[in-house]
Amino acid sequence: NAGVTQTPKFQVLKTGQSMTLQCAQDMNHNSMYWYRQDPGMGLRLIYYSASEGTTDKGEVPNGYNVSRLNKREFSLRLESAAPSQTSVYFCASDRDRNSRGNQPQHFGDGTRLSIL
């Protein structure tokens, strides 16, 4: 079982460039999430999707867009990358139909993104 798969694992961008982080899960989960992790700050929610076709903002959505392409895939896009977006990005999923936080979350291995 692959679980949650994120691509790429590492990426270096220049300020102003754009890119899309990909995430796919094979557990038939309903809800999917994008987090960023910075030293000393834990995981902060960027966007989430409770079901196919719906997305909502989390704590730190500025500078990001998302697409829930289908039940399996949830992508995160940086339109114009800034150095402040240097971070480790984690995608997660769970069975919850309403993103109420009552199901365990399964995380991908992360994407380490540096913006120069």
Partner 1 sequence: QQPVQSPQAVILREGEDAVINCSSSKALYSVHWYRQKHGEAPIFLMILLKGGEQKGHDKISASFNEKKQQSSLYLTASQLSYSGTYFCGTANDYKLSFGAGTTVTVRA
* Sequence-distant (≥ 6) Cβ neighbours of residue 95 within 8 angstroms: 27, 29, 30, 31, 103
Rounded least distance, CB 81 to partner 1, Å = 23
Distance of CA 71 to the CA centre of its chain: 14
Does residue 99 interact with partner 1 by CB under 8 A? yes
- Distance from C-alpha of 99 to C-alpha of 49, rounded to nearest angstrom: 8
Rounded least distance, CB 40 to partner 1, Å = 6
Which of 17, 43 has the CB closer to partner 1? Answer: 43
- Distance from C-alpha of 114 to C-alpha of 116, rounded to nearest angstrom: 6
Per-residue contact string for residues 56-95; x = within reach of partner 1 by CB under 8 A: --xx------------------------------x-----
Q: Which residues bind partner 1 (CB under 8 A)?
A: 35, 40-45, 48, 58-59, 90, 98-110
